[in-house]
Structure 1
Amino acid sequence: MPEKTVERQANSSFGPSRRFCVAPMMDWTTSHYRYLARQLSRHALLYTEMVTTGALIHGDTARFLRHHPAEYPLALQLGGSNPQELAHCAALAEQYGFDEVNLNVGCPSDRVQNNMIGACLMAHPDKVAEGVRAMVAATSLPVTVKHRIGINGRESWEDLCEFIEKVSEAGCQTFIVHARIAVLEGLSPKENRDIPPLKYDWVYHLKARYPHLEIIINGGIRTFDECRDHLEHTDGVMLGREAYHNPWLLAGVDAEFFGQPGPAQSRHDVLRAVLPFIQDELDRGVYLSHISRHLMGLFHGQPGGRQFRRYLSENAHRPGSGIEVIEQAMARVPEPSEASILQAITPA
């Protein structure tokens, strides 16, 4: 397991700073994406994909928890509901060097519902509280919960407050709130990210009602202007799809939200910084296409960006593809001038 190479960015008593976070996303926030993201921002808090307690306990634990030291600060998201299993996995999170352990109470897919994982747990606040209490007892890491504002059939303000109060009494002090309900029957997970209306004001009201808790807002956030508006009412923001499809957005995070210069000077420099990591992964037997898919958005909106993506799409999957495919794809994008670099890392 990796050793810590950076200090935790403390946020009073809540652990690592969650002022700006990148959401856990299945198949997307893999270690390969997170390494890229860390070349763009040193301070954004990154989250793993959701890992079920069953996978960690009965599967290849080291493979599921493997990450690079450069990824810190980094949180592990767990899916599960059995208190003993959650406690065991929370202890593993600390053993493997994570900065936070997060419980998923927001995923709406049928597959996880059948195992009492995800958003269906919004209907069982006592069960969530029991799991959180066990996790808190098992680790010194911050134990956080990511959840919806409700689910169909249990979507009132009173229901939400009951959930927050019971889970906070169990020891959770940080709630990451996706400002939509989840519809557990009739909508796909994708539709659940778009169709239920966003109710940001509910998250604002949570912070006003429970000022002693840390409230992070999530759902549909795309721009820094929107982030600034939300930070007037909450403790932090969490971006998902926009941070994945347009990762260069992260290049402005450190200066905008942490008052520190970011590490990225240009997209080309970022990609060059990732090349040794890619080579190490190839040497481990990872296919290039499993890594390159996370690079597709790096030149989003740039001259040559389409050619970059096309070259990767057509060549990264070929047998024996190596680092030269990345270099040849990058050569299709003109290098920017210094002035345009400075402008590019100051997003709206």
Structure 2
Amino acid sequence: MHVDYLIVGQGISGTFLSYYLRSAGKSVLVIDKPLSNTASRIASGVINPVTGRRIVTTWMIDELLPFAKKAYQEIGKLLGESIVDECSILEFHPTLQMQEAFNTRLAESADYLSSVNNEQNWEPIFNYHFGIGKVSPALHLDLQTLLNGYRSFLQKENLLFEDVLEEQYLTIKDDSVQYKDIVASKIFFCDGVAGILHPYFDKLPFAFNKGEAIIAEIPDLPNQYIYKQGLSLVPWDKEKQLFWIGSTYTWKYDDVLPTKDFSEKVKFQLDNWLKLPYKIVDHFAAERPANVERRPFVGLHPQFPNIGILNGMGTKGCSLAPFFAKEIVDLLLSGKPINPLADVGRFARVLAR
């Protein structure tokens, strides 16, 4: 079997890389074993344009946000599904200092930030003492529909090999790669935390962390907003009034299982913030493919140009993956260079060891 490109992984990165390559008329085969607890599958699906205690805009957001909106709309048309909604995030300031930081940033620039009118309307729903700010526009993505729908599309087109890549069957040649009986011009690794297992990229500065989230039924909570106060409450299934609640960043852990500590912490915070009744219906955890530099790994291996990578997104995969998948395709088809801050070639010395 001959294809132009082999893609390992069908999270957000592998989905968009295969999508853009096919849109450019290239043939692909995706290798991916279905797992329920990957970072892509349990992520909240939120693209927030601001971050941190200083309320600063996230890296490249002015470029990433409109690109992401268009990208998810386009792939949604392919699947016949609505994948992306533009929405607002209501920031319930947890402290006076955070309220002052928000107002200071709002006075400096109105980009993405605004005040909330009729703030008192939220008093029957939440306990809060330091006001509310609004972040808008943000994007909310239905990742379950995206990943499941695109997987079904790949299956119907016979473009999916449901298995774990076995390195011993992968051969890198001068002008091609071969995996078992499949020959391709290049192979791209888009497989999240498994990326560190590949000998060609195991020296990259991956820095995985564990995240947990809870799904709760909150029948009376309006589901057109995302709510934040330490925790994030994100609509998960609007018909069932389910909300995604999280998340954490744990850097030292023995396993990737849900913990009692997290569920107890969430319940304590909810009981002190939310005035509405709720019911916890699920709890899950996953490992994120973050890295020390907080910039993704994108492009072709400096020593082995038949091998590529799209990985290391951390918590920003929803915004970074579509954008840099398109950058890879532009590199392959027209030679347009990858953004040097993301190009994996910046680790040429490390990868040459």
**TM-score band, normalised by the shorter chain?**
under 0.3
More strand by share: 2
Q: Greater CA radius of gyration, 1 or 2? A: 2
More helix by share: 1
Q: Higher relative CO (CA 8 A, sep ≥ 6), structure 1 or 2?
A: 2
TM-score by length of 2: 0.26
